Structure 1
Amino acid sequence: MTLDDLRGYARIVTEPLAAGAERTGVTPNQLSALSLIFSAAAGLMYYQSPDKPEMLYAAACMLLLNAVSDAADGALARRTGRADPRGDFLDHVIDRYADMFILLGIIFAGYVPWPIGMLAVVGVLLTSYIGTEAQALSLGRYYGGMMGRADRLTLIFLATLACALYPYSIEGLPILGWVVVVTMLSSHITALQRFNHVWKNLP
């Protein structure tokens, strides 16, 4: 089971946030855009962190804000009756850009060799693509597999804090580098699992 399976429980947090956003007049799309800004800021902070290790703490904060705003936009859309295909489409596009900002920030900072980093990027994009392709084929959005987006962001968040506290290499890579390795492996396994699910359920 991945953390994506616990979306229902996340509403304990997202619903109060959505209620607060509704009172301030913020729209779901504005929250989505805000999540993109937070992810871009996180990527920039990762890139700067080799020379300024304290930026890892800031990057972790940006990751947390990205996750909160990304979760709250859907809750706000449902609460205000604004849930529609355009909002869903925008949310998925922004999530992909957010994934790239975060991963590329870590890769450009030199925490992991380029080939591994690029394989991780491809795996993350494939995982998302196959999940949404299931929806396009009328099989419903599929979040299954070894590691979903919530799992990945949680691991990166924890690894960021760990790397800030222990900025040393373990077997040639810092903790953030090893998390990218895990992301690379698990994302491709997840993509294959999702492919298998879609293939078996096609008429």
Structure 2
Amino acid sequence: MDDLRDASRSLTEPVAEIVERAGLTPNMLSALSLCFSFLAFLFYCISASDHRMLFAAAIMVMLNGTADAVDGALARRMGYADRRGDLLDHVIDRYSDVLLLSGVIFAGYVRWEIGLLAVVGVLMTSYIGTQAQAVSLRRCYGGMLGRADRLVFIIIATLANAIYPERIDGLHILGWMVLITMVLSHITAIQRFVHIWRCLGR
């Protein structure tokens, strides 16, 4: 389950209050989260020749996750929670997901075939979760590996790879992260599909 989503709310609300005082809007935060993911992509690519850049990549992923978490809390505080904001948030999240994984793939930490399957799994997980709304159900966040869990996994793997850049059984730590993400994302997509299917049959 995407348990970190609920646990983070006690932290995001105070941050949202600070951001509101600074004059930022939810859409500005969403745009910033995309900028952070693009910078992470660049740092991952550069890390192919200098693994120390992975520390910078990890920071960008953290900032991406923070901005993504706080924009929703800020929207609720400011009364800006609407369908356009929700659409923008989800589109940016998907671009961010692709950028983060693509950075790891382009840097050569994992074979592109595995990376492609991981990207497909991540996108299908999100698609099936939101598709529940298209069939008049609530959005589905369940399953083994939600976005919040995935971001934490990426951050930990990135820092671990920066500290220990050697291969383990043929793969870098980031390579193992992508491989595990590939497997768990497809399992999560199936879990969400089965849950929605059963709900439609009731």
1:23-66 CA distance string (max 9 Å, x none): 11100000000000000100110011011111100000001100
1:47 matched to 2:30? The reply is no
Aligned residue identity for 2:73: A
Give TM-score, length-normalised by structure 2: 0.97
CA distance in 1 between partners of 2:6 and 2:188 (Å): 22
**How far off is 1:103 after superposition?**
0.3
Separation in structure 2 between the aligned mates of residue 39 and residue 6 of structure 1, nearest angstrom: 20
Following the alignment from structure 2 to structure 1, what is the Cα–Cα distance between the partners of residues 3 and 151?
A: 15
* Aligned mate of 1:169, from 167, 170, 182: 167
Regions of 4+ moved over 4 Å: none
CA contact (8 A) 2:37 2:61 kept: yes
Gapped regions of structure 1 (runs ≥ 5): none
The CA deviation string for residues 128-153 of structure 1, in whole angstroms up to 9 with x for no partner, is 00000012212101111111111111
**Alpha-carbon distance, 1:192 to partner:** 0.7
**Gaps spanning 5+ residues in structure 2: where?**
none
Q: Which of 98, 108, 131 lines up with 1:110 in the alignment?
A: 108
Other-structure match for 2:188? 190
Q: Secondary structure at the match of 1:25?
A: coil
Which of 28, 31, 49 aligns to 1:30? It is 28
Structure 1 residue 9: deviation in Å?
2.7
Count of aligned positions: 201
Report if aligned partners of 2:4, 2:148 keep a CA contact under 8 Å in 1: no
Q: Structure 1, residues 113-135: CA drift from partner, whole Å, max 9, x if none?
A: 01100000100000000000012
Residue 4 of structure 2 contacts residue 149 of structure 2 at CA under 8 Å; is this kept in 1? no
Q: So what's the TM-score if we normalise by structure 1? A: 0.97
C-alpha distance in 2, partners of 1:6/1:152? 10
Cα distance in 1 between the residues matched to 2:68 and 2:81: 14
1:61 paired residue number: 59
Amino acid aligned to 1:137 = V
CA distance, structure 1, for counterparts of residue 6 and residue 196 of structure 2: 23
Once the two structures are TM-superposed, the CA of residue 7 in structure 1 deviates from its matched residue by 2.7
Q: State the shift of 1:13 in Å.
A: 1.2
Counterpart-to-counterpart distance in 1, 2:26 and 2:100: 22
Instruction: State how far apart, in whole Å, the 2-side matches of 1:11 and 1:192 are.
Output: 27
Q: Which of 12, 16, 19 matches 2:14?
A: 16
Equivalent position amino acid for 1:139 in 2: L
Q: Please show how residues 96-135 of structure 1 align to structure 2 within 5 Å.
A: 96-135=94-133
Instruction: State whether residues 5 and 148 of structure 2, in contact with CA within 8 Å, keep that contact through their aligned partners in structure 1.
Output: no
Residue 12 of structure 1: CA displacement?
Answer: 1.7
Q: Residue 148 of structure 1 corresponds to which residue in structure 2?
A: 146
How far is the alpha carbon of 1:5 from its aligned partner? 2.7
2:120 partner amino acid: V
Distance 1:6 1:187 in 2: 16
